[in-house]
């Protein structure tokens, strides 16, 4: 008799669980569709702005992940630095997302201890003289040792949140030009700042200052694995699934 009761109980539990799972599935599927639509918009924007020969798709996609998630005073402008490229190539792109235009495409330096022609090592540590990956929001401008400069506030703990204390800023530099490339086979390097050509530094700084997002990208496994910004969507989806399941079981109990 006890065995029969146990079998009946397990059958009832399986039926309830199945009902719960079936009820939750459409909601989860709906959320997955919403995320897919957002990614489709990214693809469409990449094509409509003719970015294929300007910035690699993965860098743009990851930049748009943060752009959609992070708050910023001015969401019309988005800047991307792609450190998978050599310093001899134009690695900075400034985009007008609102009007779907490329505003600037420029050379940009990396930190002296990040690598020679390619930036391959990154750090958030003071005095490391390395570049830092991740998302930043631009702040105020000032006149400093390197002339007209732009303060950067790193938004990612452990990756770039010490940018301000390290004085990692956007500024112009004489070592960022094609003449240096011809002489050295690479750009000159900074103490960690994304330094620009002198002739472009002021117009670029004036375009991106006061609350726009800047994303510094590299093919870096540690960053991809640990960035809370880039992993937010997966974490959100997992949390959403759990929440939906908990709520469904709650209604059945």
In a domain, 101, yes or no: yes
Domain range spanning residue 197?
A: 59-234
The CB density around residue 215, as the number of other CB atoms within 10 Å, is: 24
Percent of the chain beyond pLDDT 90? 75
In a domain, 84, yes or no: yes
In a domain, 33, yes or no: no
In a domain, 44, yes or no: no
Residues 173 and 191: their CA atoms lie apart, in Å, by 12
Percent of the chain beyond pLDDT 70? 76
Confidence of residue 6 (pLDDT cuts 50, 70, 90): very low
Mean pLDDT computed over 174-195: 97
Q: Which tokens is 39 given?
A: 């990614």
Query: Mean pLDDT of all residues in the chain?
Result: 86
The more confidently predicted of residues 177 and 12 is 177
Looking up residue 68, the CATH number of its domain turns out to be: 2.40.440.10
CB 191 within 8 A of CB 144: no
Residues 207 and 158: their CA atoms lie apart, in Å, by 28
In a domain, 150, yes or no: yes
CB 189 within 8 A of CB 110: yes
pTM (two decimals):
0.81
Q: Is the pLDDT of residue 233 over 90?
A: no
Residue 50 pLDDT = 95
Mean pLDDT computed over 100-125: 98
Residue 16 pLDDT = 45
Q: Which tokens is 80 given?
A: 């991307």
In a domain, 23, yes or no: no
In a domain, 201, yes or no: yes
The CB density around residue 100, as the number of other CB atoms within 10 Å, is: 12
Question: pLDDT tens, 49-100?
Answer: 999 999 999 999 999 999 999 999 999 999 999 999 999 999 999 999 999 9
Q: Is the pLDDT of residue 174 over 60?
A: yes
The CB density around residue 243, as the number of other CB atoms within 10 Å, is: 12
Residue 33 pLDDT = 60
Q: Is the pLDDT of residue 238 over 90?
A: no
In a domain, 42, yes or no: no
Question: pLDDT tens, 17-57?
Answer: 455 455 555 655 555 565 566 667 899 999 999 999 999 99
Q: How many domains is the chain built from?
A: 1
């Amino acid at each position: 008799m006890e065995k029969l009761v146990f079998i009946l109980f397990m059958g009832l539990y399986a039926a309830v669980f199945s009902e719960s799972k079936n009820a939750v599935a459409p909601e989860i599927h709906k959320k997955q569709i919403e995320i897919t639509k957002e990614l489709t918009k990214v693809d469409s924007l990449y094509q409509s702005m003719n970015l294929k020969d300007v910035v690699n798709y993965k860098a743009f996609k990851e930049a748009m992940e943060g752009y959609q998630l992070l708050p910023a005073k001015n969401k019309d402008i988005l800047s991307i630095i792609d450190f998978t490229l050599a310093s001899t190539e134009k690695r900075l792109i400034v985009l007008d997302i609102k009007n779907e235009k490329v505003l600037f495409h420029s050379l940009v330096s990396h930190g002296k201890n990040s690598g020679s022609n390619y930036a391959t090592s990154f750090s958030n540590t003071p005095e490391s003289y390395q570049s830092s990956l991740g998302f930043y929001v631009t702040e105020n401008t000032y006149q400093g040792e390197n002339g007209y400069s732009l303060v950067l506030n790193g938004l990612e703990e452990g990756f770039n949140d010490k940018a301000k204390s390290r004085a990692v800023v956007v500024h112009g530099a004489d070592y960022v030009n094609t003449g240096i490339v011809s002489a050295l086979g690479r750009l000159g390097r900074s103490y960690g700042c994304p330094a620009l050509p002198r002739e472009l530094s002021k117009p670029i700084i004036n375009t991106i200052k006061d609350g726009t997002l800047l994303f510094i990208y590299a093919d870096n496994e540690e960053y991809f694995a640990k960035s809370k910004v880039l992993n937010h969507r997966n974490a959100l989806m997992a949390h959403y699934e759990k929440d939906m399941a908990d709520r469904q079981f709650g209604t059945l109990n």
